[in-house]
Amino acid sequence: MNNIFKTVSAFLFAGALLTSCSPDEFKGADQNGIPSLEGMDFDLTIDASTNQMTAAVTNLPKGAYPIWYLDTDGDGDYDGADNTDQYSTLQSISKVFAKKGTYNIMLKIGNRNGFSTGGIEKSFTIENDMLDEKTLKQLCDKQWRIDYSKPAHMGCGEPGTDGTGWWSAAPNDKADWGVYDDRISFTMDGAYTYNPGEGGTVYVNTGCSIFSEFNTNDGNDFMATVAEQTTRYEIVMEGSDRYLVLSANTLFPYISADGQYANPRFRIEDLTSKQMVLVYEGDGINWHFILTSTDDVPVEEPSFKGYKYDSPCNKWLSTSFTMSYFYAHGDGWESYPDGSIGFTDNGNGKYNVSLPYESNMQWQAQVVFHTDMVTNAVTNYDFSVKFTSNSDAKGVTVKLTSEASDDVYYFADRIDLKADETYIFYYDNMQGLDIDAVKFVLDFGGVPAGTEVEVAEIVLKEHDCDDGAGHPSDEPADNTPYAYDTEDNLWKAVDATECEMSFFYAHGDGWESYPEAPGFVHNGNAYTITLPGETNMQWQAQVAFLTNLSCGEAEVYDFGCIMTPNTDLKNVTVKLVMNGDDNTYFFANSVNLEADTENVIKFPAQVAPAAMPRISLFFDFGGNPADTEIVVKDIVFKKTVQ
């Protein structure tokens, strides 16, 4: 059983104002809604050292996606009548050209109403033919493996494309299929070796007839037991493309079809000393593979495993609690009968929650502990709990709040649980709140029917009470900011324009609006925000950047910035979210800022839960004193280097 760790000091989302919503109804294509290319452009770069072309678009309109057409043989067209052969629909594409010449690339955009009229076309020149000796040096004398950390490390798509349009694997998507421990290697004299790894298996498509004795014949792919194999390989030039050709009947980490095994021939899309992208052109389908030669270094588990349940410090041990439940489904929130959610106290701090039916959205499967625990504003607290689910359960809500008011809470988080993996969730050194009765709320809305979740070892303790578990905050923080002025910082495009902004500014228990928005000055890569009046609670002092940045599902990004306030600020919310959908976000974190100090904010390797046509960045300073000023500078948003 694996462990997943949640490491935050106070992680919040816009749960103070809870609403429900339903998907937009699609009533058919709208001719007036066809996307326009007005104001659109894309970046095109050529790496002369590797013959690699890279094209990327970042200012897609909301709801649109790119359609790339690529002239791969230098004849000036796109290998299809009337440009009917699209090459890729990824946000950015790269291709290595083996032959010198001038080539063309065209960008169109599409949405649910159709495709843009015309396209944006650019030409580029490859100066040199790719030398075989250089290719061999990049390829040989190292171990290659499927790069499970990359989106689209395996995928499939239409013929003539890069093989990602129909399906692409999210990071670690195929961890249970014995493919990530496989290794392939090449030697300068033409030998190719396939090693099936510790599992001793090769991953095979269910439609294959080879290795039929291992086929489960249930419509699912299967793993076949095989031995290490050494055969031959060669690099073959065909027009402007290079192909990796293996001997007949040669193994590869994934066998997509009988033809791939019988005649393995892969188009080399990209090749450096550390990355190789291959496309197998099958019968009516292309398959996409990303491999890496970097070491597969196991991720070390943090030493912190939650606070100690059986410690005298744990306030939960002496609490009395009662339970309440809410269970519904559908857009109409139809209620299930009382008692439909199962709850069992298994003793020793372990509780079991049974969810026999499906639910569709947040807050439709609530399990609430009503306790008599008391906290106060002059004491800081720590919290931890462990979850183990029998199924993948996305968007589980975890909230520690006041019985008297849901708007007074320590945290309101949404987490993803993976089947049969223990998730250790904790907060360290939370600023205390005056609460006469603490309420612990769990919501499993949207999880599959038949989900069983163990909730174990709940701990709420005073921060200064030593239970022997230590604190995650004892580990030294990384206070080195991300470099701002780099080519991969996508936020520089936002700083170069006057970004569309949104503000909300209110105060008091009645949320009385201030007549004017917060003060806001943009100067290059710095933004000065002034809040002349005080606010009282979260979400009362919002500043939002409504950018034209976009991302694809499961893409991984680093985010960072530097924030300098003129006064101490607690629980400042930083949220990177899909524009128009508050529940689809990279993160919704809370940070504490020290006065007159450059506070470095870094959230590395954040995974997009869905494709986002537009990305918004929210800062909320709710709870600030009067005459607050904050400078936010050097915002960085870049793809994570794996």
Asked whether 144 and 185 are in contact (CB, 8 A), the reply is yes
pLDDT at 139 over 70: yes
Q: 244-253 contacts: CB < 8 A, separation 24 or more?
A: 244/268, 244/278, 246/192, 247/192, 250/192, 250/194, 251/194, 251/196, 251/202, 251/226, 252/184, 252/194, 252/202, 253/145, 253/146, 253/179, 253/182, 253/184, 253/194, 253/202, 253/203, 253/289
Q: What H or E segment, with its residue span, contains residue 224? A: strand 222-225
Classify 49 as helix, strand or coil: coil
When pLDDT is cut at 50, 70 and 90, the band that residue 141 belongs to is confident
Report the number of secondary-structure helices (H) and strands (E) in the chain.
3, 43
Q: Give pLDDT, residue 49.
A: 66
Task: Give the span between the Cα atoms of 502 and 45, in whole angstroms.
Answer: 34
Question: Among 291, 328, 251, which residue's Cα sits nearest to residue 139?
Answer: 291
Strand pairing report for 101-111 and 120-126: antiparallel
Q: Give pLDDT, residue 607.
A: 80
Question: Among 474, 377, 476, 478, which residue's Cα sits nearest to residue 430?
Answer: 377
Average per-residue pLDDT for the chain: 85
pLDDT digits 0-9 by tens, 484-521: 988 899 999 999 999 999 999 999 988 999 999 999 99
Q: Tokens representing 126?
A: 């490859």
What is the CB-side half-sphere exposure of residue 627 using CA atoms within 13 A? 0
When pLDDT is cut at 50, 70 and 90, the band that residue 642 belongs to is low
Strand pairing report for 229-238 and 241-246: antiparallel
Which whole number is the average pLDDT over 464-488? Answer: 80
User: Could you say which DSSP state residue 178 is in?
Assistant: T
Q: Give pLDDT, residue 321.
A: 96
pLDDT digits 0-9 by tens, 225-282: 999 999 999 888 887 788 999 999 999 999 999 999 999 999 998 887 788 999 999 9
Classify 485 as helix, strand or coil: coil
pTM value surpassing 0.75: no
Q: Tokens representing 74?
A: 């230098």
Q: Tokens representing 71?
A: 């002239």
Which whole number is the average pLDDT over 381-406? Answer: 90
- Strand segments, DSSP code E, in 336-468 are 342-347, 350-355, 365-371, 381-389, 393-402, 409-417, 422-430, 438-443, 451-462
Task: Give the span between the Cα atoms of 518 and 504, in whole angstroms.
Answer: 8
Q: Give pLDDT, residue 16.
A: 29
pLDDT digits 0-9 by tens, 175-198: 889 999 999 999 887 899 999 999
User: Could you say which DSSP state residue 515 is in?
Assistant: S
Strand pairing report for 422-430 and 3-8: parallel
Q: Give pLDDT, residue 588.
A: 79
Task: Give the span between the Cα atoms of 120 and 108, in whole angstroms.
Answer: 7
When pLDDT is cut at 50, 70 and 90, the band that residue 2 belongs to is very low
When pLDDT is cut at 50, 70 and 90, the band that residue 589 belongs to is confident
When pLDDT is cut at 50, 70 and 90, the band that residue 25 belongs to is very low
